[in-house]
Amino acid sequence: MGKLLSMMAAAVFAVSMLAGGAPAQAEDCHRGTLDARYCDRDYNQTADLPLDDSKWVDPDTIIFSYTPVEDPAVYAKVWDGFINHMAETTGKKVVFFPVQSYAAQYEAMRSGRLHVAGVNTGGNPVAVSCAGMVPFAMMASKDGSFGYEMEIIVPADSPIKSPNDLKGKTLAFTSPTSNSGFKAPSAILKSDFGLVADKDFKTAFSGKHDNSVLGVTNKDYEAAAIANSVMKRMIDRGVIDPASIRTIYKSQTFPTTGYGHAHDLHPEVVAKIKQAFFTFDWEGSALQEEFKKEGSFIGIHHKSDWNVIRKIDAANGVTYDCK
């Protein structure tokens, strides 16, 4: 599985490297899992701002994207009010960039074409290590609680009653970089049920969580591993009938989408971007309508809050090889 992610990362980032990727910084610095172009002098596992202020980026237009867990077109309008708020707070034009894949999102930030992004849970360590993203916020409910669970779902009338029954069947994953759509279920099925992907059960990749949910609903997939937050939003929008599916496994709670900025953004711009997130009024907003559980943005620390995700990656043999 580590080889799969490494191959994917190599394919995604080869273009940007050939196009003139920045060389490693001259000063000695700690990197950990970070790509050679970044430094982590404070050991917080994210890329630091370049020491040379001539390399700080102060864009006229801030480009923002949301993780493509579902159809990006759905979210352009959902984020419109927030985009306007960020524009007012920063004094800059802000544009929503509807990326079509996780890989495209990472490459866009790495190449300097994306400044702020909401990256899926499993993809955060990849974006941090390979694209220099610095996570700083995630959505939470008004009482401060947050997160989602990975669920393995099947059609309501399926004979599959538990994960043990997946042996010999086909399980749909979403993408190799997705926590709930691939990493967590792979690790859990192996450690808790002795089931190894492509050995004890067949696999398919749908590309996105909504594709997996719809695939199970329409019986295109025998089973699928998904983020229940996506499924719940689809139910709320009337996209699927909850009676058409059944859950056979539910995981512990994981941190949800992490929002971060490019490591080389000018610190004054970063401060205003963070201000936009933490002062946004959710009441009556399109975000509140879509993300019904949430009601605020809270601060996060990648080193501690994503520790469980990195442990899942380690269990799966995943490395963040950006070369």
Q: In this predicted model, what pLDDT tens digit does every residue of 169-211 receive, in sequence order?
A: 999 999 998 999 999 999 999 999 999 999 999 999 999 999 9
Average predicted confidence (pLDDT) for the chain: 90
Say how far apart CA 9 and CA 30 lie, in whole Å.
22
Question: In this structure, are residues 318 and 3 in contact, taking their beta carbons and an 8 Å threshold?
Answer: no
Say how far apart CA 187 and CA 196 lie, in whole Å.
9
pLDDT above 60 (res 22): no
pLDDT for position 219 = 97
| Separation of CA 81 from chain center | 22
pLDDT for position 28 = 74
Chain segment 97-130, per-residue pLDDT in tens: 998 888 999 999 999 999 999 999 999 999 999 9
Chain segment 209-246, per-residue pLDDT in tens: 999 999 999 999 999 999 999 999 999 999 999 999 99
Buried b (16+ CB within 10 A) or exposed e, 9-25: beebbeebbeeebbeeb
pLDDT band for position 23 (50/70/90)?
very low
pLDDT for position 5 = 40
Q: How much of the chain exceeds pLDDT 90, in percent?
A: 80
Question: In this structure, are residues 71 and 210 in contact, taking their beta carbons and an 8 Å threshold?
Answer: yes
pLDDT above 70 (res 7): no
Say how far apart CA 291 and CA 82 lie, in whole Å.
13
Taking phi over 0 as left and psi of -120 to 50 as alpha, with beta for the rest, 103 belongs to alpha
- CA angle 294-116-293, nearest 5°? 5
Domain boundaries, the chain: 2-144+255-315, 148-254
pLDDT for position 323 = 67
Question: In this structure, are residues 192 and 23 in contact, taking their beta carbons and an 8 Å threshold?
Answer: no
pLDDT for position 71 = 73
- Output the CA–CA distances (angstroms, integers) from residue 102 to 66, 88, 99, 119, 178, in the order listed: 10, 28, 8, 8, 9
pLDDT for position 283 = 95
Residue type, 21: G
pLDDT for position 143 = 87
- CA angle 59-62-66, nearest 5°? 150
pLDDT for position 34 = 96
pLDDT for position 100 = 87
pLDDT for position 172 = 98
> What are the φ and ψ backbone dihedral angles of 242, each rounded to 5 degrees?
-60, -20
Q: What is the 3-state secondary structure (H, E, C) of the chain?
A: CHHHHHHHHHHHHHHHHHCCCCCCCCCCCCCCCCCCCCCCCCCCCCCCCCCCHHHCECCCEEEEEECCCCCHHHHHHHCHHHHHHHHHHHCCEEEECCCCCHHHHHHHHHCCCCCEEEECCCCHHHHHHHHCEEEEEEEECCCCCCCEEEEEEEECCCCCCCHHHHCCCEEEECCCCCHHHHHHHHHHHHHHHCCCECCCEEEEECCCHHHHHHHHHCCCCCEEEEEHHHHHHHHHCCCCCHHHEEEEEEEEEECCCEEEEECCECHHHHHHHHHHHHHCCCCCCHHHHHCCCCCEEEECCHHHHCHHHHHHHHHCCCCCCCC
pLDDT for position 199 = 97
pLDDT for position 27 = 57
pLDDT above 50 (res 268): yes
pLDDT band for position 25 (50/70/90)?
very low
Considering the segment(s) 2-144+255-315 as one domain, its CATH architecture is 3-Layer(aba) Sandwich (3.40)
Same topology between domain 2-144+255-315 and domain 148-254? yes
Residues 148-254: name the CATH superfamily. Periplasmic binding protein-like II (3.40.190.10)
Chain segment 45-83, per-residue pLDDT in tens: 999 999 999 999 999 999 999 998 777 777 888 999 999
pLDDT for position 16 = 39
